[in-house]
Amino acid sequence: MVPDETDLIAARLEKENQQLREQLDRLNRERIEYLQNVAHQLVAPLNAIKWHIENLTEARVSVERGRKVLRSVYSQATLAVHLAKNFALMSNLEADHTLSALREPLQVVDLCKLLVNLADDFQPQGWDKNIQIIVKNHPLEKATDVLVMRPLVGQVFSNIIENATKYAKKSSDIVIEGVHNPTRDMVSVTVWNDGIPLAPADANRIFERGYRTQEAKNLYPAGTGFGLYIAKRIIALHEGEISASTDQRGRVGFTVTLSVRGLEGKAREQ
């Protein structure tokens, strides 16, 4: 017997409903896994801060050791704040895919100064692995200031630098350099690290929601895979570009390109 049109429509609707149920189940699993990973990552630095403060208040350490402990407290606090900001951004992305709820006033930003400040914030983490975070002032310091949403762009570079610090080899350098392209009126910044190799097939996928390479999973099983995804979404909001590459020395670089004045008139300026 040949099925009539009603049967065909019902079968198609049932198939679509099943696909939607499977998609919803997958999103729920991802959300639960994300919350678990964030909680796990937040607990570690908070516990470290608590333990260090207990040692300081009970005078269990010498003055010299106390300085190192305070440096570690600063490092762990920086990481906790960084994770909390990512969590807030990811929560907003879940509720508002355009990030319109986080529209910030546009500000003229000196990227060189911003990157120096961020490098200082993450350097204490680098010291734990004898890693130096180096911002090459020239020619970045001569680059034209860009008109951007400063807190969001700051989070982009925080995510990239934190990733570089996490995955770089011990006793290596993280190098941050940039240049102004007057022809395109764009400023490009690249963060280089000598760490986990990046296969060509992963160069685009690492910006996907929740994607992590197998090497990254092996090194840090509890990672969320959302830092670079958030970065890509923020850069897209700025009508810029973000990409990953490997140079001839095997270093992995993340390049962010932003328009100098491309957003002028498109959002409220401060």
> Is 267 contained in some domain?
no
Question: Which one of 73, 95, 117 terminates a domain?
Answer: 95
Q: From CA 104, how far away is CA 196, in angstroms rounded?
A: 34
Q: From CA 245, how far away is CA 252, in angstroms rounded?
A: 6
pLDDT at residue number 21: 85
DSSP assigned state of 267: S
Domain identity same for 82 and 106 = no
Number of compact structural domains in the chain: 2
Domain identity same for 47 and 24 = yes
Domain identity same for 126 and 51 = no
Domain identity same for 190 and 114 = yes
> Is 270 contained in some domain?
no
Question: Which one of 95, 115, 137 terminates a domain?
Answer: 95
Domain identity same for 132 and 244 = yes
> Is 265 contained in some domain?
no
pLDDT at residue number 267: 56
Q: Under DSSP, is residue 222 helix (H, G, I), strand (E, B) or coil?
A: coil
pLDDT at residue number 20: 85
Q: From CA 78, how far away is CA 122, in angstroms rounded?
A: 7
Domain identity same for 111 and 86 = no
> Is 268 contained in some domain?
no
pLDDT at residue number 225: 81
Tokens 């390049």 sit at which residue? Answer: 255
Between CA 77 and CA 30, with CA 256 as vertex, the angle to 5 degrees is: 60
Question: Which one of 95, 120, 149 terminates a domain?
Answer: 95
Secondary structure tally for the chain: helices H, strands E: 8, 7
Domain identity same for 58 and 154 = no
pTM here is 0.77
pLDDT tens for each residue of the chain, 270 residues long: 456 778 788 888 888 888 888 888 877 776 776 666 667 667 777 887 887 787 777 766 676 777 777 877 887 888 788 878 877 787 777 666 555 555 678 899 999 999 999 999 889 888 889 999 999 999 999 899 999 989 889 999 999 999 999 999 999 999 999 999 989 899 999 999 998 889 888 998 999 988 889 998 888 877 778 889 989 989 998 999 999 999 988 899 999 999 999 888 775 444
Domain identity same for 91 and 213 = no
Return the CATH number at 29. Answer: 1.10.287.130
Domain identity same for 177 and 82 = no
- Over its C-alpha atoms, the chain yields an Rg (Å, rounded) of 22
Domain identity same for 158 and 137 = yes
Domain identity same for 19 and 115 = no
Q: What is the pLDDT of residues 112-136, one digit of tens each?
A: 999 999 999 889 888 889 999 999 9
pLDDT at residue number 269: 44
Domain identity same for 89 and 140 = no
Q: Which domain holds residue 33?
A: 5-95
